[in-house]
């Protein structure tokens, strides 16, 4: 597949659909990425876990599909993955279990 991008565009892989998605890249998101920040603004827990998987080379699964749509707004810089997961657990009323590079997040879901 060829993708032609214009300034301020990005392309991401939607693994669940097996397709690429072109979207507008916000300049602050690019700056966050360059400076090592994880910036989530009303992001779903599913999106957050996907970014954590890429950043920390992890496999993260959600025990309950209702957790996927939980919304998170937070900025992380220089925190360990354990610190980030503890904050996410507090924000979403969940718990997690880590075994090596595999993490499972447990909870009821968000309303």
At residue 78, the pLDDT reads 83
3-state secondary structure 32-49: HHHCCCEEEEEEEHHHHH
Distance CA 99, CA 53 (A): 14
Where are any strands of DSSP class E within the chain? 9-14, 19-24, 38-44, 59-62, 71-76, 95-99, 102-106
The per-residue pLDDT string of the chain (111 residues; one tens digit each, 9 = 90 and over) reads: 666 777 767 677 777 777 777 777 665 555 455 556 788 889 999 999 999 998 899 999 999 989 999 999 998 988 899 999 999 999 999 999 999 999 999 999 886
pTM for the predicted model, two decimal places: 0.70
Token pair listed for 77: 């810089």
Tens digit of each residue's pLDDT (9 = 90 or more) over 63-83: 998 999 999 999 898 889 999
CA distance 26 to 108: 33
Cα 11 from Cα 60, distance rounded (Å): 22
How much of the chain exceeds pLDDT 90, in percent? 48
């Amino acid at each position: 597949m060829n993708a032609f991008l214009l300034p301020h565009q990005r392309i991401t892989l939607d693994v669940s659909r097996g397709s690429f998605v072109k979207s507008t890249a916000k300049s602050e998101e690019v700056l966050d990425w360059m400076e090592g920040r994880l910036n989530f603004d009303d992001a779903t827990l599913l999106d957050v876990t996907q970014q954590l998987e890429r950043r920390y080379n992890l496999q993260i699964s959600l025990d309950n599909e209702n957790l996927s749509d939980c919304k998170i707004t937070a900025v992380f810089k220089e925190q360990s993955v354990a610190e980030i997961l503890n904050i996410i657990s507090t924000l979403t009323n969940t718990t997690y279990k880590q075994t090596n590079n595999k993490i499972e997040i447990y909870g009821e879901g968000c309303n």
